[in-house]
Structure 1
């Protein structure tokens, strides 16, 4: 066999990196892109932040290929060395963040990088070298980056295609400083970015990689950007979209299990919430309100008291279409995939943002009257707002207010069209 014939029959390789962030908002798009790449005959490596959470979406990890099934019961991508479907899932390199008491309030995107590990040049250098070792080992044709700035930094002199994948928050528009969260803190944000760039360039210099003048120049490495949202819900205002940028709202991950409601209560409230102390205040009001409540709590959350018959806690995802069909109100932390899925559905949303990213999205949702913002730090706020949302007296989502959030094409079609260009 000559070299040309051998290359013609050789499968292309794709890597999907996931470095920062947590939850289904990252795993769900990664799964859908991996599935589409496998359908297109790519060998796929997923280098992920948290192997322990992968099973929540990649349900088909099993020794026997016949038992590898998706949540719909159909055969799914196989996982493991030598698998026919060509999907490998590995732990990706991780930075060690600052201790919570050392972290400061983020004024810009550079502050976030400093907190997650860019404060330590030696650590950053080690993780950059680890990413480069994986790229050398796999020799991919294309790499997708879900909130993976260090993997992108490590990619500087590689010729493979570089594609951003994820929310708009993790890929701000080009500016200096990049990703400014508080316009009143412009000078402090510039100083913060300069500090991060000094660390980045010290690492680049030691590894023989090119100097980067500003953070926006790092993001210039991307050949394409696939945003897993819709333009109206961009975290940043005034983004000028280029021909190499695509907005693709991903499908809600298919789950067979239907929501099961408690026997007691009338108004049905479904919650998809991260664990945390704030839940005690929210739960206290929901108990008092006599709402028929089902809460999916992501993470460890201990309840010492016995729950009344109108409250049910679950630790597994359920079918979102089944929630939409029966719920009156959905509570979330302004999780991107959740709010997009619900934006054009006849169900009221309440959001409790826990991060800068979720807060930015929550403000847009409130402005567009797509959700109400609940502040659990004020007991009166929890009670008053929840009651007004449930009763419908103060918060009503009208169809006209949702116009422009939905897409004419399905999420799968949009993703396919974007990958047609990218690949």
Structure 2
């Protein structure tokens, strides 16, 4: 049997581990071993420990790059993570190689791990890229711009890509590995499998793609107990560092609704300030299956996994994106008519939230989306990715 390394380098929240853990458990049941090399260790004990997985800290860029403009493309996004500094990037790549050698793995599964992809180049380890869509754009030169509302001069985009390729090839030369030809070879370490649905793709212009469907199982969270007060059941999953948190909680507390809110690591002050007989706040994740079957609407930051889980249950969403990836994804959701994206403008929250909740078309479109995918079974998606992982062994 084989030993796989499941690797997650960039991005936050539960989504990355949420995609990888079900696939790892499937491989484990088939007799393989899976080790995790991950960005954030805070939740590892709770999420990985119960399944007997071993985990290691991913070698990460922790420096700061000053005076960079807002990134217009994924190439420019990489500039903030060491891809402008050949010596530093080389050091991190050597750390990756040392770790992979020490673990003696047979194959790799990447989830948003560009430096690990570069480091593994030339090692002869077969790999698969499990993507949510954002980190692997459609093939184009230059790559598609991320900020569709902003002018993106093609000359700037091409120049940025050339810089990234030049720095990466300097590092690959030192590692004795074959050079790359384009930025996509950094973003994707092998065949791409998209754990999403075509309608939810971050890039509406993508043609084709291996879409297996969303994978959002995290195991069971806490049992769901809705506050008794309130006609509408509203579930919210929010982040404690969200700039509009207090303003949004104020709006939710004023609704004629039974509100359950999950905020990981939320302060005691916030719980005491906003908790009531119609709004309850939990630091611990709630059982996502119970939540999506019993809620009427979900208030989220536009993380793909939770949004997909809600839509597949026919529940509309109100989205409050925190960063660029979520903003792109929220646009796709809004285009479907199953949700509303609300920018961080706290003064507008009461009006926008109440207007969205009163829009019956959102719930109707969400039910139509769920009907279209009524036969979707994420266990099939999990098995399909595990099959692809096993197929890698024949490529070694």
TM-score by length of 1: 0.83
- Aligned partners of 2:136 and 2:184 also within 8 Å: no
Please, which of 35, 52, 58 is the counterpart of residue 92 of structure 1? Answer: 58
Aligned length in residues: 384
CA gap of 1:151–1:111, structure 2 versus 1, over 3 A, is same
Q: Residues 14 and 340 of structure 1: is their aligned pair in 2 closer, same or farther, counting only changes over 3 Å?
A: same
Would you say the 8 A contact 2:117–2:189 is kept in 1?
yes
Give CA-to-partner distance per residue, 1:251-275, whole Å, 9 cap, x none: 4323152222334333222100112
Return the alpha-carbon distance in structure 1 between the equivalents of residues 361 and 367 of structure 2: 17
The aligned residue for residue 324 of structure 1 is: 292
Match of 1:271 among 236, 253, 257: 236
1:32-80 deviation line (CA, Å, top 9, x unaligned): 11111111211211111111221342251xxxxxxxxxxxxxxxx32xx
1:358 alignment counterpart:
326
**2:129 equivalent in structure 1:** 164
Question: In the alignment, which of 239, 248, 268 is matched to residue 282 of structure 1?
Answer: 248
Provide closer, same or farther for how the CA distance between residues 268 and 400 of structure 1 changes in structure 2, counting only shifts above 3 A.
closer
Q: Is the 8 A contact 2:313 2:370 kept in 1?
A: no
What is the deviation of 1:399?
5.7
Equivalent residue, structure 1, for 2:44: 54
Task: Tell me the distance in 2 between the aligned counterparts of 1:341 and 1:281.
Answer: 26
SS in 1 for 2:123: coil
Q: How does 1:139-288 map to 2 (within 5 A)?
A: 139-182=104-147, 184-185=151-152, 186-219=154-187, 221-222=189-190, 224-241=191-208, 245-275=210-240, 276-288=242-254
Of the three residues 61, 74, 86, the one matched with 1:109 is 74
Q: Which 10-residue stretch deviates more, 112-121 or 139-148? A: 112-121
Which structure has more relative contact order (CA 8 Å, sep 6+)? It is 2
Task: Give SS of 1:210's match.
Answer: coil
2 CA distance for matches of 1:144 and 1:405? 30
Distance 1:162 1:146, change over 3 A: same
Partner secondary structure for residue 169 of structure 1: coil
Paired with 2:206 and 2:214, the residues of 1 have a C-alpha distance of 17
Aligned equivalents of 2:287, 2:96: Cα separation in 1: 36
TM-superposition CA deviations, 1:388-413 (whole Å, max 9, x none): 23233564433674168626341112
The equivalent residue for 2:281 is: 313
Distance of 1:122 and 1:288 partners within structure 2: 54
Q: Is the 8 A contact 1:230 1:406 kept in 2?
A: no
1:38-77 aligned at under 5 Å gives the runs: 38-60=28-50, 77=51
Instruction: Give the Cα–Cα distance (whole angstroms) in 2 for the partners of residues 263 and 383 of structure 1.
Output: 23
The runs of at least 4 aligned residues of structure 1 exceeding 4 Å deviation read none
366 and 207 in structure 1: CA distance in 2 versus 1, 3 angstrom threshold: same
Hey, what does 1:385 align to over in structure 2? 352
The answer for the alignment partner of 2:381 in structure 1 is: 414
Shift in Å, 1:362: 0.4
Residue 344 of structure 1: how far off its partner (Å): 2.7
Report SS of the residue matched to 2:181. Answer: coil
1: CA distance, partners of 2:313 / 2:73: 33
What's the TM-score, normalizing by structure 2? 0.89
Q: How many Å apart are 1:158 and its aligned residue?
A: 1.8
Give the CA deviation at 1:370.
Answer: 1.4
Q: What secondary structure sits across from 1:17 in the alignment?
A: strand
Task: Measure the CA separation in 2 of the matches of 1:123 and 1:397.
Answer: 52
Say whether 1:123 aligns with 2:123: no
Stretches of structure 1 lacking an aligned partner (at least 5 in a row): 1-10, 61-76, 79-86
Larger radius of gyration: 1
Distance in 2 between residues matched to 1:336 and 1:150, nearest whole Å = 23
Query: How far apart, in 1, do the equivalents of 2:205 and 2:244 lie?
Result: 33
Tell whether the 8 Å contact from 1:258 to 1:318 is kept in structure 2 after alignment: yes
Structure-2 separation of matches of 1:37 and 1:257: 26
CA RMSD of aligned residues (A): 2.4
Provide the C-alpha distance between the structure 2 equivalents of 1:248 and 1:347, rounded to a whole number of angstroms: 17
Equivalent in the alignment of 1:369? 337
Unaligned runs of 5+ in 2: 391-396
Structure 2: distance between partners of 1:356 and 1:374: 13
